[in-house]
Structure 1
Amino acid sequence: MLNKAILMGRLTADPDVRQTPAGVSVATFSLAVDRNFTKAGEEKQTDFINMVAWRSTADFIGKYFKKGQLVAVEGSIRTRNYTDNNGNKRYVTEVVVDQAYFAESKRNSDSASPFSQPSAPTYSQNTANFEQQNSNNTAESYTNVDFAGDDDLPF
């Protein structure tokens, strides 16, 4: 069976990262994912999907992802149940995140991510020297090739 979820959306709040009693990191958060299809005259609909990530993925998400940031996640859909304090059985459907990615550049994000976009390298080469060195390469300096034998080509 195949159970693969790939989603892109914005975080509705900062991720909540906690530790289990065994010391394993677990992050919970929610993504707002816009639907592609809207009926004429209606506003775009958004689904709010619960996510959970474990171990190093949880640590990464907790460290670098912030509310409002556009992210992409890969994982699987899981359903679990529990009994609440009133004795009612509750069901939860969530995506267990295996991989998480930044989906926008820092310039487009309002997040306070510690990553910075590297600046473009600058080159100090003098282009005038390059043009002068290559100015003697003219069309006459190249050898003409005779393609009269085109009949041997298979196309």
Structure 2
Amino acid sequence: MRALIQRVSEARVTVEGAVLGEVGPGLLVLICAMRGDGPAQAEKLAAKIAKLRIFQDAEGRMNRSVRDLGGAALVVSQFTLAADTRSGNRPGFSTAAPPEIGEELYEYFAARLQAEGVSVATGRFGADMKVALVNDGPVTIWMDSEA
């Protein structure tokens, strides 16, 4: 699985003008299941993200996790993280998991992150979502369960 993690002051996702998920200080996690991924990859990534120390401590060093803060995570599915741009000008997405597997792993990832002690809000898999955020820092981290 691939994830793009952004430390945020706030973030929200809307579909057709309705807010589906919203968080204050914490993380925006854009997540993509790749072909061949399964529950093990979702568990590994959720555990790593819950413990990722990208929030400042009293000395101003990135030494605290979202879990340490009592922060929340907005988890949004984004198959475009699987983009292959090696040839041509139009990205290919053949490395993304098929939609039915992608949705299952997206939901499983969100549940595993919640089980790691992080409050989780979500978008809607496959929907045309609008994501608004205030990136804090800015801090943006790319993660891959296979890296």
- State the TM-score, normalized to the length of structure 1: 0.22
CA radius of gyration, larger in: 1
Structure with more relative contact order (C-alpha pairs < 8 Å, separation 6 or more) = 2
Q: Say which structure is richer in helix.
A: 2
